[in-house]
Amino acid sequence: MRILIVSDIHANWSALDAIDEPYDLCLCLGDLVDYGPDPALCVRWAMTHVKHAIRGNHDHGVAQGVPVVGETGYRYLTRVTRPLMWEALGPEERRYLLRLPLTCRFTLEGKKFLLVHGTPRDPLDEYVMRDPETWAKRLHDVDADIVCVGHTHMQFNLRVGNTVVLNPGSVGQPRDGDPRAAYAIIDDNRVELKRIEYPVAETIARVDRSRLPDRAKEMFRVAYSEGRLPHAYRTTGGGE
């Protein structure tokens, strides 16, 4: 059984479309929308190809119309892109986001899987990096062999006791300084963290043709090209 695991696509169709992997089953760990220029294409792909999908905090925010306040960093980019998300989605894509569960459990080939966007304690919003001590606390009383998480946009494959915690990283908006799309493969119980180059210029061109403010377009050009948003943009609203 070959499993493709994706997360944090963030409406970046060029990145998602670049993943060319054979698989028997696909899992999506949330955040199909916000930031990028092609939310409908990404949601439609998930509707067609993903067997088990869960809700990310951005999926929740778009589906529920949650307003965002902020003038710096990713919060600012969320604020200015969110109004464009709902209007870009058709009725079927909207319903899909609204119905995504917070968590998903299933057993496959004798392995118990738990899917959450953040952590088992806080499926939507808690950030935990590759920290064995913190994950040991979060996994207390969690009955799972493999816990798949997203949210941090950072890849890791961590064994905590008898449990594997797997974060495939972000397909559409990496934040580790590597602009390539990130994802993971589980093949016969062997975990591979993978990256693939995609036509970043296509995503940037789509953003440049959007109705976003010039400041947001500049920030996205940097974030997509460098695989992270520099500190100045995250703290001072740089680029104005």
The pLDDT tens digits for 41-83 are 999 999 999 999 999 999 999 999 998 999 999 999 999 999 9
Q: Is the pLDDT of residue 121 over 90?
A: yes
CATH number for the domain that contains residue 226: 3.60.21.10
Asked whether residue 130 is assigned to any structural domain, the reply reads no
Tell whether the model's pLDDT for residue 239 goes beyond 60. Answer: no
β 2-6/181-187 pair status: antiparallel
Cα–Cα distance measured from residue 68 to residue 66, given in angstroms and rounded to the nearest whole number: 7
Q: Confidence class of residue 93 from pLDDT cuts 50, 70 and 90? A: very high
Separation between Cα atoms, residue 171 and residue 168, nearest integer Å: 8
Q: What percent of the chain shows pLDDT beyond 70? A: 98
Q: What is the pLDDT of residue 240?
A: 32
Average pLDDT of the segment spanning 151-169: 97
Q: Does some domain include residue 198?
A: yes
Tell me whether residue 17 is in a domain.
Answer: yes
Phi-psi region of 105 (alpha: psi -120 to 50; beta: other; left: phi over 0): beta
Domain around 76: 2-102+168-236
Q: Which of these, 187, 183, 165, 144, lies nearest to 1 by C-alpha position?
A: 187
What amino acid occupies position 117? Answer: H
Does residue 115 sit within a domain? Answer: no
**Predicted confidence (pLDDT) at residue 178 exceeds the cutoff of 70:** yes
Q: List C-alpha distances in Å: 169 to 117, 210, 226.
A: 11, 26, 15
pLDDT value at 23 more than 80: yes
The mean pLDDT value for 183-201 works out to 97
Q: Are 118 and 124 in contact (CB under 8 A)?
A: yes
Instruction: Using the predicted structure, report yes or no on whether residue 234 has a pLDDT greater than 90.
Output: no
Task: Pull the structure tokens for residue 174.
Answer: 């990496």
- Is residue 110 situated within a structural domain? no
Note if the pTM is more than 0.85. Answer: yes
Q: Three-state SS for 227?
A: coil
Would you say residue 135 has pLDDT above 90? yes
Q: How confident is the model at residue 238, as a pLDDT?
A: 41
107 falls within a domain:
no
At residue 86, does pLDDT exceed 90?
A: no
pLDDT (average), residues 117-145: 97
Give the mean pLDDT of 180-192: 96
| Over residues 118-139, mean pLDDT | 97
Q: Does the residue 111 lie in any domain?
A: no
Number of structural domains (the chain) is: 1
- pLDDT given at position 236: 60
What gap in Å lies between CA 99 and CA 193, rounded to an integer?
Answer: 29
pLDDT recorded at residue 189: 85
In a domain, 131, yes or no: no
